[in-house]
Amino acid sequence: MTGSVAAAIREALLECNPWAKAMATRKVARDWRLGKLSFAFDVEMPDLPGRPDAPELLPPNRMPKRGKGGSERGRIALWHALAHIEFVAIDLALDMAGRFGGEMDEGFVSDFLSVAADEAMHFALLDRHLRTLGSRYGALPAHDGLWEAAHGTRHDVAARLAVVPMVLEARGLDVTPATLERVRANGDERGARILERILDDEIRHVRFGAIHFADVAKRLDEDRDSLWKSLVSRHFGGAVKPPFNDSARLAAGLSRDLYAGLA
Ligand SMILES: [Fe+2]
Ligand SMILES: [Fe+2]
């Protein structure tokens, strides 16, 4: 053993350099899988994870327009926005495992560390793709809304699971197929394959969220669906909006009668 899983997670969260964070994250996940880290939660997770100087973070309404999807500039803006989402997703998954692992169990930690490792891989794939277009992560501003959802639910694992995997990541399942189709239609086959892989992985991430949420609801002796609905309306300002990717959501364990009621 080389230490507690919480200390290793905290260190990866505090890393500011995006590429170093991605590598540190994959190492935490690997060390945990190999039994090198103890199931101990002896340190707290930071309120704000380490962030690089670039990209500059802007509120969503101050983000520059992306321009036409087909232009070089528009393409770079798209991949940059996706890379940023994956970068924040690394912290979201690490924070899930490190903040709530102690009150949950080893399986929960394993699941969300594997999610964190996936997000680190997604980030690396997207940054590499950006470089083939002559750009890189950090070259453009990015929007600062995603971490807020995590911060607002930092005291409640049920709320965190309800909002992060079951609303935000599920939203990714809804919007990715259209992006993928557009990218493929523009002749970017390599980009399309990256998005296919991400979509597959994200179904698994949402499923982990749904499974652990159901466990928490059971432990609290609450009805899963009504608990989810009340937590989403309390902690997630925006409405859960169609169009929904019903088949991907179903594969992730979200049935239509759950989320359609909130639309
Ligand atoms: Fe991802
Ligand atoms: Fe994810």
* Ion ligand 1: protein residues whose beta carbon lies under 5 Å: 86, 89, 119, 122
| Rounded-to-10 torsion of CA 72, 73, 74, 77 | 120
Q: Which ligand is nearest to the CA of 84?
A: 1
Cis ω for the linkage preceding 243 (within 30 of 0): yes
Residue 221 CA to ligand 1 centre (angstroms): 31
Residue 92 CA to ligand 2 centre (angstroms): 9
Query: Encoding tokens for residue 40?
Result: 């101990």
Cα-to-chain-centroid distance, residue 254? 17
Q: Which ligand is nearest to the CA of 164?
A: 2
Each residue's pLDDT, cut to its tens digit, for the chain (263 residues) gives 679 999 999 999 999 999 999 999 999 999 999 999 999 999 999 999 999 999 998 887 777 776 655 688 899 999 999 999 999 999 999 999 999 999 999 999 999 999 999 999 999 999 999 999 999 999 999 987 788 878 899 999 999 999 999 999 999 999 999 999 999 999 999 999 999 999 999 999 999 999 999 999 999 999 999 999 999 999 987 778 888 999 999 999 999 988 887 76
Residue 167 CA to ligand 1 centre (angstroms): 14
Whole-angstrom Cα distance, residue 122 to residue 195? 9
